[in-house]
Amino acid sequence: MNIEEYVGTDKVFFAPSGSMAIFSVLYPFRKKTLGIPDQGSFKNILKIAELLDLQHKFITTEKGIILPEKIKNVEIFIFSSFSGYLVENNVEKIVSHCKKNGILSIEDVSSGFSHPRFGKGDILICSTGSPKILECGWGGFAAYRGIENSTIFDYMKSPREYEEKLKIQVENAEFKLQKLLKYSKILKDFNFEVFFRDLNGISVFVKLRSPKKFLKILNKEITPDIGKSLFTKCPRFDRILEEGFVIETIKIWERNEDEILDIGRKIEKVITCLGT
């Protein structure tokens, strides 16, 4: 299955990166007011808004979860399917609210590509860098529904090798996503404080004070398959504005269930020994 079939649009426009895809999508709307969730959003969105001299307004969330009724006094709203990769948003309600109020919805599906309840926004954007659901090492794309696309995309071409790799990634996306959801649930069952225990997400937030001292030990004991650390220290705008750390399961998704359980035990042991 190709991307167009997944996202339900006739055409997908490629870009060198997810950031460039967002920049190109927002460029024609420079005189509009952009709504941005106050946490759990794309990490470079504030830089892009500044570069475009785009007026923006923070939309209050509930620990990253978007409450549709809070989206107001803006003309465009950009959000992630999974806020901060941590928790599933009710995308259908968000998009429905935006349509009723004349707000253009831009959904970042990087964290949840292939999820049946995602990909409903007026415009979809996606990063295919690493680590992502669609992991090509670089690149990104955008897709539009009934809206004129940015002409900036006319100057962007994707190499054949990238398109071939992306097609394979699309075919494997559902399997990868389901594995990540399962591994996140496994890690939420350990004896440390997590947010969104009963909600879907592909990363896990562990709440504790002074996370730096815990991560100093955990980074010595646990290494990811990609990147320098399995963990992201918080508070952080693109994850959650709470003290603690995020376990980035996407960096260990190819491991088996026993290995995930072993990682959970190590984290639990360090937290128990050091205290919270």
What's the rounded Cα separation, in Å, for the pair 223 and 213? 17
Range 95-103 contact pairs with CB under 8 angstroms and sequence separation of 24 or more: 95/120, 95/121, 95/122, 96/68, 97/68, 97/69, 97/71, 98/68, 98/71, 98/122, 101/71, 101/72, 102/75, 103/35, 103/71, 103/74, 103/75, 103/76, 103/77
- Give me the pLDDT at residue 25, please: 96
Per DSSP, the three-state class of 198 is coil
Residue where a domain stops, chosen among 138, 168, 198: 168
Q: What is the pLDDT of residue 1?
A: 59
50 and 138 co-located in one domain:
yes
Last residue of a domain, one of 168, 191, 209: 168
Which 3 state secondary structure label does DSSP give 212?
Answer: helix
Let me know whether 117 and 136 are in one domain.
Answer: yes
| Confidence band of 276 (pLDDT split at 50, 70, 90) | low
59-63, 204-208, 259-263, 272-276: least confident range: 272-276
Burial 145-156 (b: 16+ CB within 10 A, else e): eeeebbebbeeb
Burial of residue 31, with CB atoms counted within 10 A of its CB: 0-12 exposed, 13-18 middle, 19 or more buried: exposed
128 with 13, same domain: the answer is yes
pTM above 0.85, yes or no: yes
Total number of domains constituting the chain = 2
Residues 135 and 42 grouped into a single domain = yes
Greatest Cα pair distance in the chain: 57
Element at 15 (helix H, strand E): strand 12-15
Rounded mean pLDDT, 144-153? 89
Overall average pLDDT of the 141-155 stretch: 90
Q: Residue 275: what pLDDT?
A: 73
Residues 60 and 134 in one domain: yes
Q: Residues 6 or more apart from 97 whose CB is under 8 A from it?
A: 68, 69, 71, 103
Domain end call among 168, 198, 227 = 168
215 and 144 inside one domain = no
| Tens digits of residue pLDDT in 181-211 | 999 999 999 999 999 999 999 999 999 999 9
Sheet holding 12-15, edge to edge: 12-15, 140-144, 123-127, 104-108, 76-80, 33-37, 55-59
Based on the domain organization, do 12 and 148 belong to the same domain? Answer: yes
Q: What is the CATH number of the domain that holds 38?
A: 3.40.640.10
Query: For residue 123, is pLDDT > 90?
Result: yes
* Structure confidence at residue 104 (pLDDT): 96
Structure confidence at residue 43 as a pLDDT band (50, 70, 90)? confident
Q: Which structural domain range is residue 46 located in?
A: 3-168
In the predicted model, what is the mean pLDDT of residues 99-103? 97
Per-residue confidence at 118, pLDDT binned at 50, 70, 90? very high
Domain co-membership, 156 together with 79: yes
Q: Which amino acid is at 203?
A: S
Q: Are residues 243 and 161 in the same domain?
A: no
Same domain, 207 and 141: no
* Whether residues 84 and 56 fall in one domain: yes
We report the CATH number of the domain holding residue 270 as 3.90.1150.10
Per-residue pLDDT for 34 more than 90? yes
Do both 185 and 265 map to the same domain?
Answer: yes
Query: Greater confidence, 72 or 149?
Result: 72
87 pLDDT exceeds 90? Answer: yes
The per-residue pLDDT for 172 is: 94
DSSP class per residue in 67-128: -GGG--S-SEEEEESEETTTEE--HHHHHHHHHHTT-EEEEE-TTTTT-TT---SSEEEEE-
